[in-house]
Amino acid sequence: MELKALLKNHRKIRAVGFDDAPFMRNANKPVGVAGVICADTRFEGMVWGEIQPDGWDATEKLCQLLIGGKFLPHLHIVLLDGISLGGFNIVDLPLLAERLERPCIAVMRKQPKLNAMIYAMQRLPHPEKRLETILHAGTVYEYPPFYFQVYGAEPDVTAQVLQRLTDCGHVPEALRLAHLITSAVVKGESGRQA
């Protein structure tokens, strides 16, 4: 069912929210990624995988975690904590949406500082390709408290969906839980800011 219809008919919206675990730069170890599945704001399940820090495999790994698994047939939307995971392992948002056949949203806490990102990417191989992938994800929409890039859904509908998936604060519950879980797995306890 389309997102607009789910909202209109007050049906549950099932989302997966992906966030990466804290990691040490230059440690060259894989970075853990949690995908938390929620029906509206209720936890329903989880997937776990690993990506390369500042690598090129984030899009493919997210697809591998869902395609052929038990959760994808029931999901309506895919949420990401920002457009990149594990540093600058940037997710190709249109490709992810196409492969998963679901709208995909990169959610941010504030308007990203593109110049600062461009500067930081200069220390990595192929900074121009990374920037191209970020820009390919499209406009950063502002619907306070949400800032997001979306592929596969209208921005106004997306903002309503994010509101529905958020229990308290400014972060959809699936992303909040993914953040808490990845912190706890790495540090032994969940962090304060989710």
- Name the token pair of 186: 């790495």
pLDDT given for residue 89 in this prediction:
97
Q: What is the pTM of this model?
A: 0.95
**pLDDT class of 192 with cuts at 50, 70, 90:** low
- Give 81's pLDDT tier (boundaries 50, 70, 90): very high
Please name which of 87, 164, 170 lies closest in space to residue 124, comparing C-alpha atoms. Answer: 87
Contacts of 52 (CB under 8 A, 6+ apart): 30, 31, 86, 89
What percent of the chain lies above the pLDDT cut of 90?
87
142 touches 109 (CB < 8 A): no
CA-CA distance, 82 to 119, in Å (whole number)? 18
Q: What is the tens place of the pLDDT at every residue in 68-79?
A: 999 999 999 999
Amino acid at 108: M
Question: Is 80 exceeded by the pLDDT of residue 193?
Answer: no
Query: How buried is residue 8: exposed, middle or buried, by Cβ count under 10 Å (0-12/13-18/19+)?
Result: exposed
Q: What is the pLDDT of residues 11-57, one digit of tens each?
A: 999 999 999 998 887 778 999 999 999 999 999 999 999 999 999 99
Between 183 and 191, the higher pLDDT residue? 183
Domains of the chain, CATH where assigned? 3-184 (3.30.2170.10)
